[in-house]
């Protein structure tokens, strides 16, 4: 059986960006250069599902530019065999150090390509077996055919995405895509009252729009927007009458959050302070204390105040860079997964919460 045609690593890298758009889970694992080189080596040795040829992660580390340039079937087959044998000394020009096989195995393959369905894992092998176990799914391998270009390639990629990515994954990608488009022009926000306001273009405005239009109706019984601002503390909207009705005084010169929402559905109004994070600025312990002081002055108790940090996506660098700062007894919400919310639970007054109790929350 002839080995599959080879696509240069830079071209594989470029195609991975299109195959796995923003919003794909663990996207960084499957679009970086090491992922492109892993796919190249799998194609090089013919590790494609159904061909009974499998990859061992350390084979990626053993590849070199000189070897990759040898594209004949006999040369590729010879390297496939030799790369499985122990070697004495170092390999001249090898792509990666020997210990790089672990992130290739754990991140690029197991948490990336295998989880998505782009790579198949050999069945029946013990976890500790040193035998090769990974092969490209046949439909995924077809996306790297050098003869596929332009509209033909785009159609093939779209068909693969529809067939392989779950509905939830597809929805997540679509939401992030819509956000990227919205960044190019002014962002129109529709409030629970039906009123609308425009915000300046930018990722923070896109997330703020999602908080008002998606988060509020999902997680609040009768939502209202008391305050909405942009960078440089410019107020986009403020509802002084609603604020007065619940006893809250809005003073723009104070360090207010990006949004203040209220839920008037419960017997006692629930105040929600929201920080939008496109780059930095989550609700950390210090910010939580400052905002709680504003609520306390208005007569709100701790049980009537919620703190939310809103992000574009769980896989976004903004979340990964700030998750360790998030305050206990606060929430994190992601525009790309609007029906879900993350709770950072803190037991109150020394009372321990059982997991069974938290499962019902």
Rounded to the nearest integer, the mean pLDDT of the chain is 86
At 244 the three-state DSSP class reads helix
Pick the CATH number of 180-359 from 3.40.1350.80, 3.30.565.10, 3.40.920.10, 1.20.1440.230: 3.40.1350.80
Rounded to whole angstroms, the Cα distance separating 351 from 218 reads 29
Cβ neighbour number for residue 29 with a 10 Å cutoff = 23
Residue ranges of the chain that CATH labels 3.40.1350.80: 180-359
Q: Tokens 């948490």 map to which residue? A: 111
pTM: 0.59
Q: Which residue has the tokens 């040829």?
A: 53
Task: Please state which of the ranges 33-42, 218-227, 232-241 shows the lowest mean pLDDT.
Answer: 232-241
What does the pLDDT read at residue 248?
A: 77
List, for residues 103-115, the tens digit of each pLDDT value: 999 999 988 898 8
Residue 166 has a pLDDT of 66
Helix%, strand%, coil% for the chain, nearest 5:
45, 15, 40
pLDDT band of residue 234 (cuts 50, 70, 90) is low
Give the model's confidence band at 238: pLDDT under 50 very low, under 70 low, under 90 confident, else very high.
confident
Q: Rounded to whole angstroms, how far apart are CA atoms 95 and 111?
A: 22
The CATH class of the 9-164 domain is mainly alpha
pLDDT, position 67? 96
What is the mean pLDDT of the segment spanning 299-314? 91
Q: CA 354, CA 361: separation in Å to the nearest integer?
A: 11
The residue with greater pLDDT, 127 or 140, is 140
Half-sphere exposure of 2 (CA within 13 A, CB side): 5
Examine the pLDDT at 183 and tell me if it is beyond 80: no
In 3D, which of 180, 173, 200 has the Cα closest to residue 189? 200
The gap between the terminal CA atoms of the chain, to the nearest Å, is 56
Cα separations in angstroms, 207 against 29, 71, 85, 225, 315:
24, 48, 52, 15, 15
CA distances from 252 to 31, 89, 186, 237 (A): 43, 67, 23, 11
Q: What is the pLDDT, as a whole number, of residue 71?
A: 94
pLDDT at 195: 86
| 134 φ, ψ (degrees, to nearest 5) | -115, 140
User: What residue spans in the chain does CATH classification 1.10.10 cover?
Assistant: 9-164
Question: Can you give the pLDDT at residue 216?
Answer: 94
pLDDT of residue 184: 54
Q: Which pLDDT does position 212 carry in this prediction?
A: 94
Q: 311 falls in which pLDDT band (50, 70, 90)?
A: very high
Identify the helix (H) or strand (E) that includes residue 168: helix 167-182
Q: Is the pLDDT of residue 49 over 70?
A: yes
Confidence of residue 21 (pLDDT cuts 50, 70, 90): confident
For 239-257, how does the pLDDT look when each residue is reduced to its tens digit (9 = 90+)? 777 777 777 777 766 678 8
State the Cα–Cα distance between residues 337 and 344, nearest whole angstrom.
Answer: 17
Q: Give percent of the chain with pLDDT exceeding 90.
A: 49
- Please give the C-alpha separations between residue 126 and each of 58, 122, 130, 133, 174, in angstroms, as whole numbers: 18, 10, 9, 10, 38
């Amino acid at each position: 059986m002839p080995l599959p045609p080879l696509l240069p690593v830079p071209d594989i890298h470029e195609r991975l960006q299109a195959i796995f758009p923003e919003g794909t889970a663990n996207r960084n694992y499957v679009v970086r250069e090491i992922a492109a080189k892993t796919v190249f080596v799998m194609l090089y040795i013919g590790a494609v599902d159904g061909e009974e040829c499998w990859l061992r992660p350390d084979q990626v580390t053993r590849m070199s530019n000189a070897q990759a340039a040898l594209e004949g079937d006999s040369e590729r087959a010879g390297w496939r065999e030799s790369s499985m044998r122990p070697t004495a000394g170092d390999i001249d020009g090898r792509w990666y150090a020997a210990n790089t096989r672990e992130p290739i195995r754990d991140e690029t393959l197991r948490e990336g390509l295998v989880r998505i369905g782009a790579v198949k894992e050999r069945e029946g092998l013990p976890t500790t077996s040193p035998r090769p176990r990974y092969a490209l799914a046949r439909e995924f391998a077809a996306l790297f055919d050098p003869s596929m270009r332009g509209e033909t390639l785009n159609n093939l990629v779209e068909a693969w995405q529809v067939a392989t990515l779950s509905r939830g994954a597809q929805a997540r990608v679509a939401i992030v895509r819509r956000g990227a488009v919205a960044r190019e022009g002014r962002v129109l926000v529709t409030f629970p009252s039906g009123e609308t306001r425009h915000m300046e273009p930018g990722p923070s405005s896109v997330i703020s729009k999602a908080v008002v239009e998606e988060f509020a109706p999902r997680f609040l019984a009768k939502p209202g927007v008391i305050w909405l601002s942009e960078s440089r503390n410019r107020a986009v909207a403020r509802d002084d009458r609603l604020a007065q009705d619940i006893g809250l005084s809005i003073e723009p010169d104070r360090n207010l959050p990006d949004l203040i929402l209220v839920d008037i559905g419960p017997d006692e109004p629930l105040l929600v302070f929201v920080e939008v994070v496109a780059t930095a600025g989550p609700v950390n312990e210090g910010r939580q204390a400052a905002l709680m002081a504003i609520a306390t002055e208005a007569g709100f108790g701790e049980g009537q105040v919620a703190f939310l940090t809103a992000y574009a996506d769980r896989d976004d660098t903004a979340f990964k860079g700030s998750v360790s700062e998030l305050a206990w007894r606060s929430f994190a919400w992601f525009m790309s997964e609007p029906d879900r919310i993350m709770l950072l639970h803190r037991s109150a007054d020394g009372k321990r919460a059982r997991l069974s109790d938290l499962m019902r929350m």
